[in-house]
Amino acid sequence: MTARDEVVAAIGAALGDVLEREITGLTEDTRLFDDLRLDSSKVLELLMLVEMAVDITVDPDDLDIDRLRTVRSFADYVESRQAIGEGVS
């Protein structure tokens, strides 16, 4: 499993927890708001779970809606946080 696969798997697991259901057919093109119907409170929960799963911190001021449109754009953001060494203290 590649690092990217691990990030996408962590996002998928977090989505399942947040939405309280199994997420089937998840791809990097899955749209978080349109396809999965996430709302703002679910997004915050998703961010917290992903932070813990992949050991990053998310700066809300650094996070705009475009980074949360799809699993791909969110995974790109997560990888960028990992690349700059933003670990949880």
Confidence of residue 88 (pLDDT cuts 50, 70, 90): very low
The CATH number of 3-83 is which of 1.10.1200.10, 3.40.630.10, 3.40.50.720, 3.20.80.10?
A: 1.10.1200.10
* Model confidence at 86: pLDDT above 70: no
pTM score, two decimals? 0.90
Q: What is the pLDDT of residues 12-40, one digit of tens each?
A: 999 999 999 999 999 999 999 999 999 98
Contacts of 50 (CB under 8 A, 6+ apart): 10, 11, 14, 56, 58, 74, 78
Q: Where are the domains of the chain?
A: 3-83
Q: How far apart are CA 55 and CA 32, in angstroms?
A: 21
Q: What is the pLDDT of residues 52-61, one digit of tens each?
A: 999 998 877 7
Mean pLDDT value across residues 63-89: 85
